[in-house]
């Protein structure tokens, strides 16, 4: 079965600091991978998706970036965090309609 | 772009009432799924309906799919306070899955 690992679970970072969230997949190869963000009290917003190594599509303009250096690794980054970057970040992925979910990272930018 | 769009964005009802949430999408799909997310937690899969199905039931949940209108609805009957959560539809097509922004359901005891 597939498993998605995501860390850290919680993170508190000051404004202007860098960010790196990592998502890794077990149990499948060449999955489609997605980063979502959920701001407090709002729905999921698709940030990035990737269909393969080095292939990243961005859904919304922002100060975040994503990379996929390996088939099962998806990284969300920022050079300088903004207060508005606070939220719940969720990595999902899979190769079929059985999509799998990471546990999420709750980011608070102070 | 984001595929599914749920409406309403927020819904507040009394315990015992029925809750109906709708999802519209733009492209063809293989199947459509509904998920629930309790506050601050991960998504939980509720039900999947295939593109050749029109209606599906699971306990107090009823899902319909109209591919001609590219829309789906989720009905929760006899709602309970524990049903309070955000509900998301997700479309799946050719190994690509997209979520909508969700409907926030509040069931008041």
Dump pLDDT digits (tens) for A25-52. 998 888 888 898 877 656 677 889 898 9
Which three-class secondary structure state does DSSP give residue B70? coil
Q: How confident is the model at residue B9 (pLDDT cuts 50, 70, 90)?
A: confident
Interchain CB distance below 8 Å, B101 and A42: yes
Interchain CB distance below 8 Å, A92 and B97: yes
H or E segment at B5? strand B5-7
Residues in chain B within 8 Å Cβ distance of A34: 97
Q: What is the 3-state secondary structure (H, E, C) of chain A?
A: CCEEEEECCEEEECCCCCEEEEEEEECCCCCEEEEEEECCCCCEEEEEEEEECCEEEECCCCCEEEEEEECCEEEEEECCCCHHHCEEEEEEEECCCCCEECCCEEEEEC
pLDDT of residue A68: 97
Q: How confident is the model at residue B1 (pLDDT cuts 50, 70, 90)?
A: very low
Token pair 């524990």: residue:
B82
Is B98's pLDDT higher than 50?
Answer: yes
Compare B40 and B29 and report the one with higher pLDDT: B29
Residues in chain B within 8 Å Cβ distance of A41: 104
Mean pLDDT of B79-107: 84
The pairing of beta strand A10-13 with beta strand A105-109: parallel
């Amino acid at each position: 079965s597939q498993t998605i690992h995501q860390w850290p679970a919680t993170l508190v970072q000051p404004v202007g600091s860098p960010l790196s969230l990592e998502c890794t997949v077990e149990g499948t190869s060449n999955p489609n991978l997605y980063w979502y963000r959920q701001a407090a009290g709002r729905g999921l917003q698709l940030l990035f998706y990737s269909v393969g190594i080095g292939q990243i599509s961005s859904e919304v303009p922002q100060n975040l970036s994503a990379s996929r250096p390996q088939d099962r690794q998806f990284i969300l980054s920022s050079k300088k965090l903004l207060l508005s970057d606070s939220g719940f970040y969720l990595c999902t992925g899979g190769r079929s309609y059985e999509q799998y979910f990471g546990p999420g990272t709750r980011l608070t930018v102070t | 772009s984001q595929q599914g769009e749920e409406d309403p964005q927020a819904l507040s009802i009394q315990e015992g009432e029925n809750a109906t949430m709708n999802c519209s999408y733009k492209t063809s799909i293989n199947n459509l799924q509904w998920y629930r997310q309790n506050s601050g937690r991960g998504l939980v899969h509720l039900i999947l309906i295939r593109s050749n199905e029109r209606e599906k039931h699971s306990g107090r949940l009823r899902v319909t799919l109209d591919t001609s209108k590219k829309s789906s609805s989720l009905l929760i009957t006899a709602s309970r306070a524990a049903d309070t959560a955000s509900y998301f539809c997700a479309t799946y097509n050719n190994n690509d899955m997209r979520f909508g922004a969700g409907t926030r359901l509040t069931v008041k005891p």
